Every structure is written in C-alpha cells, then in structure tokens.
Amino acid sequence: MPAPTPAELTEYAARRQRLIRAMGPTGVAIIPSAREVIRNRDAHYRFRQDSDFLYLSGFNEPDSLLVLVPNRKEGEFLMFVRPRDAAREIWDGRRAGPEGAVSRYGADQAFVIDEFDKQLQDLLAGRERVFYTFGEHPEWDPKIAACVREIREVSRRGAAAPTDFVALETTLHEQRLIKTEAELELIRHACAVTAGAHVRAMRATRPGGWEWAVAAEIHHEFERHGMECGYGSIVGGGDNACILHYKENESPLNDGDLLLIDAGGEYRGYTADITRTFPINGTYSGAQKAVYEVVLAAQVAAIAELTAGNASSRPHEVATRALTEGMVALGLLSGDVDSLIADGKHRQFYMHGTGHWLGLDVHDVGRYKIDGVARPFQPGMVMTVEPGLYIAPGTPGIDPRFHGIGIRIEDDVLVTASGPEVLTHGVPKTVAEVEAVMRG
C-alpha cells in the first residue's frame, strides 16, 4: 500500500481528531498493529494490517503501535515502528522507520518500537482512561498491565494511575460504522471490481469445469485491479453450496447443478461481499428456479428496509418472513407462518442472519443493538443483504427435486438519506438477467 496522499493524510488526521474528542482530555489510546503470522516453517501469510490501525494511520507495517494522547504538549499522535535496517530491508522490504512515520504518515513524534516500554509510564501517568482492548494482543497485555501496576505503586508520590480500561466498541468502532465520503469511494471501487469478477465467473462456468478454475477467474480479476480477497472465496457447486463456509473449492462442476459463489475483493483495506448462485449449464431447472425466486423476493424485500430510521433488525425479520412463506409454498415446511417462525422451524433451511456491517472488515465493527434494542439505520452505514435457502442432500420428507439446492443472493447496500443504494448492482440477479449473461 503506497504512503498516503496529502488528501488521505488530512482524512486520517480528521479520524484521529474525532477519536481524541470522543476519548476526552484524560484518555489515552494504544492501538497495536497486526503481526506477521507464520504459515509454515519460514513462510508467512500475506500481511494484513489491523483495521483500526489502518483506519487511523494508513500505515501498513507490522510490529508497530499507534498512541493518541490528547493535549500532550510534544504532540498527540505518536508512533512506535520498526527501525530502519539496511540488511533486513534487503531481505524483507522497505520500512518507513521513525523518520518516515513523521514525514510520510504525519506522526507528531515517532520512536523505534523497542522504546515503547521505556515511554509507556510517561504516556499513562496522569491519564484516567486507557482505550486499549485487553485480551487481543498477548505481547502487549502484560507490559501494559505491569506499567499500570508500577504507576499505582508510585502514585502516592506522583501522578495518578489510570482507573478505566475501555474497549474501542463505543468510540472508534462507532466512528468506523458511519463511512466517510473517502471510504465510500474505496468501497464503491471494491464493489464495482467485485461485480465484474462475478460476471466473469458466470461467463467462465461450464459443465466439466472445476470450482478452483472459476475461483481463479475471480482472483485474477481482483489482482489485475491491485486487489486481493477480503475473505476466503466460497465457490461451491451442487451439494457444496449447502456448506455455508465451504472453502475447499476442489470439485468438478456438473451439468444440471448450481454454482454458489461468495467472493469479495478488497481495495486498500475495504472489501466487497457478493454472492450469486447460477446454473452451471446456463439454465435454471424448474426446481432451482422456484427456490431462486423465493430467495430473490426475500432479498429485494429486505433491501427495501435499509432506510434511515428503520430498525436495523428489519431486513432479517422481513427476509425471514418472506423465506418462510416461500418454504411453505414450495412444500418444504407446512403450517402457519407465524408459528413456524416463532418455533424456529425455518432454521432447518435458513440458518444464518440476513446481513452484517461491511467496511475494513468483512464482518465490520459497530454494535447492532444499543441497550438491548436494535439500533436505527443512519446514512453512511453499509450492510450486506444475503438471504438464502439450503436444502441438504437427502433431507427426509422433502421432494428429491430440491435435494442439494443451496442458494444465497448477497448485495452490499449503503443507507442514504434518500433510501437504500445497492453498491453491487453490476452483477445480474434475476433469472432472466443471469441466463442472458451466461448465454452471452
């Protein structure tokens, strides 16, 4: 990821200022970067920065810490980063070093990471609330706990020790939930490229092909746009579509089966999350079409609920009702729709939620309920809408024509003052549209 542009630096500074205001003058925030993770022996997984860290700095290196200290006279924004190291940089790549953290990332002061222990006591002394999420950073938790203990021991003679440790849910994560214009630009791009990748996958799919070959079409489309997967792609043909987190992508594609693809490209940290389910031979069978129309109607009805002021639980309620009515119409369930839902009978075929916040994390931060009540939608929130029906192979008592059909349809939707805006409209969705693209 390149160093931030001047406009991006301004955006990051504004985000930090918002957090500083939310913390109050006696707060201090300590936000660790992600670490490199070993895949096997000497090989690492591709590095992915911690989303909070990226959101506040755009800094994409491991082994770093970002500290915000309101009203500190030497500066409020500190970074602790890896030192410049000619030998390591020849092997592992460029490092900004403390100088670069100041000149290119706008830190007021920057130090090498090994300085953190020495500085910590000064940074915490006299601060009441520490915005740091314990339990997620095993390498830092003991150091921070020990430092607070030391300050407490000497506090009779000097500055008071912090009394509160606060997770970031009610400050930074609330901020991240409402996307800025700059974020929406990146999300729109991720959505547009991902939509193109799904269209490409539809065109590349044919009986006799392989799930991994279709996955490769999608991943090539991401990578040729400088993107990567925002999560593990699900490319599941036939019965595999009934495994919600199917990840092997290793089976042949059979004539007459459906292919479910759930894949999203990540652009500068922001991911899309799209699912489409289409016929491998280009034409839905009668049974497939019947189930598809039920899921599609539920999805369209749920999307309409993403209006400002509406409870954020509404899309799931509306989708659940529409799906359950459809399950009765298809003969998958029988009985009164309200009782079926109350008794959870729909869960045999619809066992997941209808959506989640989307942003830097595919399951993005932000609370769904406040004081136990579903929060209302606000402009700037982005949520997925992804109902589905999954009829496991061999389900007793169900018409065999439906066995092994798994269908999910997922779009990414922005709440605006004038209604829901579907950001992933570039992928066909109706039966006629999908079949036309596959013919074309």
411 binds Mn ion (CB under 5 A): no
Interface residues for ligand GLY in 378-437 (CB under 6 A)? 386, 410
Q: What is the DSSP letter of 211?
A: H
Q: Is 352 a catalytic residue?
A: yes
72, 352, 375, 403: which is the annotated catalytic residue?
A: 352
Interface residues for ligand GLY in 292-351 (CB under 6 A)? none
Q: Is 262 a catalytic residue?
A: yes
361 binds ligand GLY (CB under 6 A): no
Interface characters, 210-239, with ligand GLY (x: CB under 6 A): ---------------------x--------
412 binds Mn ion (CB under 5 A): no
Q: Which does residue 324 touch among Mn ion, ligand GLY, none (CB within 5 to 8 A, set by kind)?
A: none
Q: Is 356 a catalytic residue?
A: yes
Residue with tokens 């500085």: 119
273 binds ligand GLY (CB under 6 A): yes
Local structure of 237: helix, strand or coil: strand
Give the N- to C-terminal CA distance of the chain in Å, as an integer: 36
CB atoms within 10 A of CB 14: 11
Q: How far apart are CA 302 and CA 318, in angstroms?
A: 6
Q: How far apart are CA 22 and CA 313, in angstroms?
A: 27
CB of 263 to ligand GLY, least distance (A): 8
132, 246, 267, 390: which is the annotated catalytic residue?
A: 390
Interface with Mn ion (CB under 5 A), residue total 4
Q: How far apart are CA 231 and CA 252, in angstroms?
A: 22
Scanning 53-61, 271-279, 374-382, 396-404 for contacts with Mn ion by CB under 5 A, the matching segment is 271-279
- The HSE-up count of residue 342 (CA atoms within 13 Å, CB side) is 5
Interface residues for Mn ion in 236-265 (CB under 5 A)? 262
Is the distance from CB of 85 to CB of 95 less than 8 angstroms? Answer: yes
Q: Which is nearer to ligand GLY, 106 or 388 (CB)?
A: 388
Interface residues for Mn ion in 112-151 (CB under 5 A)? none
CB of 327 to Mn ion, least distance (A): 22
Interface with ligand GLY (CB under 6 A), residue total 7
Q: Which does residue 231 touch among Mn ion, ligand GLY, none (CB within 5 to 8 A, set by kind)?
A: ligand GLY
Q: Is 44 a catalytic residue?
A: no
364 binds Mn ion (CB under 5 A): no
266 binds Mn ion (CB under 5 A): no
CB of 134 to ligand GLY, least distance (A): 27
Rule CB under 6 A: choose which of 217, 262, 266, 325 binds ligand GLY: 262
Cβ-based neighbours of 285, under 8 Å, separated by 6 or more: 256, 279, 401
CB of 409 to ligand GLY, least distance (A): 11
362 binds ligand GLY (CB under 6 A): yes
Q: Is 408 a catalytic residue?
A: yes
Element (H, E) at 122: helix 116-124
Q: Is 386 a catalytic residue?
A: yes
- The residue among 110, 112, 103, 8 whose CA lies nearest residue 57 is 8
CB of 135 to ligand GLY, least distance (A): 24
Q: How far apart are CA 366 and CA 299, in angstroms?
A: 23
Q: What are phi and psi of 346, to 5 degrees?
A: -60, -20
Integer angstrom CA distances of residue 308 from 30, 193, 354, 415, 423:
33, 27, 18, 6, 16
325 binds Mn ion (CB under 5 A): no
Q: Is 173 a catalytic residue?
A: no
Q: Is 328 exposed, middle or buried (0-12, 13-18, 19+ CB in 10 A)?
A: middle
Residue with tokens 């209808």: 354
Integer angstrom CA distances of residue 132 from 1, 108, 160, 360, 423:
26, 20, 18, 19, 34
Q: What is the DSSP letter of 34?
A: P
Q: Which does residue 133 touch among ligand GLY, Mn ion, none (CB within 5 to 8 A, set by kind)?
A: none
Is the distance from CB of 375 to CB of 367 less than 8 angstroms? Answer: yes
Q: Is 42 a catalytic residue?
A: yes
Residues annotated as catalytic (active site), given as ranges = 42, 245, 262, 273, 352, 356, 363, 386, 390, 408, 410
Binding site for Mn ion (CB under 5 A): 262, 273, 384, 410
Binding site for ligand GLY (CB under 6 A): 231, 262, 273, 356, 362, 386, 410
